[in-house]
Amino acid sequence: MKIKKGDHVIVVAGRDRGRTGTVIAAYPDRGKVLVQGVNVVKKNKKVTYQGQRGAKQGGITHEEAPIDVSNVQLADPDSKKPVRVGYRFDEDGNKVRVARPSGKDI
């Protein structure tokens, strides 16, 4: 998977098309990523009494759900447009990700 935690991505398909965000978590085994502020769903949390002075914690909360990695593309650092990702090896033999159109390192 060419997208990693901390990358700035753009959603190119689905309900949140056009939104941008930072990858919070990547799940390569499932082929999904968790993007900040994208694919926000409502979750019902069980009411607990673990808050301060026995306050109730729970109710309906909003949180991000994972989306498929095929629906996001990396944002180019310069133009902020979606780009494909390629690889090259630097002089030390390390694998480096590069933006395809510009050829710049990511």
Domain boundaries, the chain: 8-81
What pLDDT score does 51 carry?
67
pLDDT for res 70: 95
CB atoms within 10 A of CB 33: 26
For tokens 């799940």, name the residue.
27
pLDDT per 10-residue tile (average), the chain, 106 residues: 94 94 96 96 87 78 94 91 94 92 85
**So what's the pLDDT on residue 98?**
93
Give the H/E segment covering residue 102: none
Q: Are 20 and 4 in contact (CB under 8 A)?
A: no
CA–CA gap between residue 100 and residue 86 (Å, rounded):
6
* pLDDT attached to residue 53: 76
The CATH number given to 8-81 is 2.30.30.30
The pTM for the full model equals 0.82
